[in-house]
Amino acid sequence: MGRRAIIVVLDGLGAGNAPDAADFGDEGANTLANTAKAVGGLDAPNLQALGLGNVEPIEGIPRAHRPRASHGLMVELSAAKATLAGHWEMMGLVLDDPLPTYPDGFPEDVLARFEDETGRGVIGNRPASGTEIIEELGAAQDKTGAWILYTSADSVFQVAANTDIIPLEELYDACRKAHKMLIGEGKIMVERVIARPFHGSSGSYERENENRHDYGITPPSETYMDLIKNAGHEVVAVGKIRDIFDGKGITDHLPGQPDDDAKVNAILESLDRIESGLVFANLVDFDAKYGHRRDPRGMAENIKRFDDRLPGLLDALTGEDLLIITADHGNDPTFRGTDHTRERVPLLVVGAGEPRDLGVRTGFSDVGASVGAWVGVEKRGLPGESFA
């Protein structure tokens, strides 16, 4: 049996105080600390025992006298506070230039071509919360059959459709056409095209998160995932990892629907059957259900749910396993707006020798360098310094 590495990304669970937070308008954002303050303290004894309270003062999570995990923080180098940028940087791709965003909506020529190629009109076309714009424009879509188009502070083209009105496959086909138009013809205009299906009627619409599909950019060069896969190891993507990397460098995909608990189950399933390689998981509920919706109570409860699963995850590890728990950006549920926040991210590492203080790491690529070193592949010029 070879060595295995497991990366669990708690999507959006930042730890504040990024050195360039002011450049992003995010001074004061701190997902963990501000969530804890808003609810009167977090309940996460297993994360506390690993050393989460040793990296940042968090109400309810005191410093551990003898942390069970190596612990530290990471500062992002990429010029973005987006899911794709954070995950790509972990795997050795740093985005020096931010991808285009559309605070005033997409240009008229983009709308005209999308309408022409899909045969439907467009309503919306502005930055918005997905749940809010569906409630606002759902009835109009029911009446006209037009796509609900929206974006965010991220570089995304999101298309929402009531599957009681527009078939799911037609939504997917429209998003594939948008992907070709905005990403596949040489000029990259967005990071991702996202299909956002929902169903129901006005006042009671429900998003079909299990049928969401992201159409992203293919990584332009080799990543640590490619190195691990090409060396003959497994690379299992759990959750939206496959979409983030457009399937590149992956041997298997487990969607882990419908929630983060199911994704933890998928991680455990992978550990039951793979002998060597990487399990890379994204737990999206922190971000999608609680950060963007500015719900600190829900965020705290999801932290507790993950904490309750930690003992089972730790018990599944062998002496040849490396477990990394981290985040890709912040999404402070107490902060203004509804978008991601520029923050440092926590880093907890089990299995890299005696627990120690890892300090503040410059760049997320130390994650990829560490898992690559752990399973025994050469860096081949990729950035990052291993802490394993």
CB–CB of 249/228 below 8 Å? yes
CB atoms within 10 A of CB 129: 17
Q: Does domain 4-93+219-375 have CATH number 3.40.50.300?
A: no
Q: pLDDT tens digits for 81-117?
A: 999 999 999 999 999 988 899 999 999 999 999 999 9
Q: How far apart are CA 309 and CA 19, in angstroms?
A: 32
Q: pLDDT tens digits for 44-90?
A: 999 999 999 999 999 999 999 999 999 999 999 999 999 999 999 99
Q: How confident is the model at residue 352 (pLDDT cuts 50, 70, 90)?
A: confident
Give the domain ranges of the chain. Answer: 4-93+219-375, 108-215
What pLDDT, on a 0 to 100 scale, did the predictor assign at position 154? 84
Q: Find the mean pLDDT for residues 239-256.
A: 96
What pLDDT, on a 0 to 100 scale, did the predictor assign at position 353? 87
Q: Write down the mean pLDDT value for the chain.
A: 96
Note whether 4-93+219-375 and 108-215 share their fold.
no
329 annotated ligand binder = yes
- CATH architecture type of domain 108-215: 2-Layer Sandwich (3.30)
154 annotated ligand binder = no
Output DSSP code: residue 23. Answer: G
The radius of gyration of the chain from alpha carbons, rounded to an integer in Å, stands at: 20
What pLDDT, on a 0 to 100 scale, did the predictor assign at position 6? 98
109 annotated ligand binder = no
What pLDDT, on a 0 to 100 scale, did the predictor assign at position 1? 58
What is residue 323's three-state secondary structure? strand
65 annotated ligand binder = no
Q: pLDDT tens digits for 279-338?
A: 999 999 999 999 999 999 999 999 999 999 999 999 999 999 999 999 999 999 999 998
- Given strand 70-75, what is the order of strands in its sheet? 252-254, 234-238, 277-283, 4-10, 321-326, 345-350, 70-75, 357-362
At what angle are helices 296-315 and 31-39 packed, to 10 degrees? 110
Q: How confident is the model at residue 185 (pLDDT cuts 50, 70, 90)?
A: confident
328 annotated ligand binder = yes
Nearest to 35 by CA among 343, 335, 296: 296
Q: pLDDT tens digits for 108-137?
A: 999 999 999 999 999 999 999 898 999 999
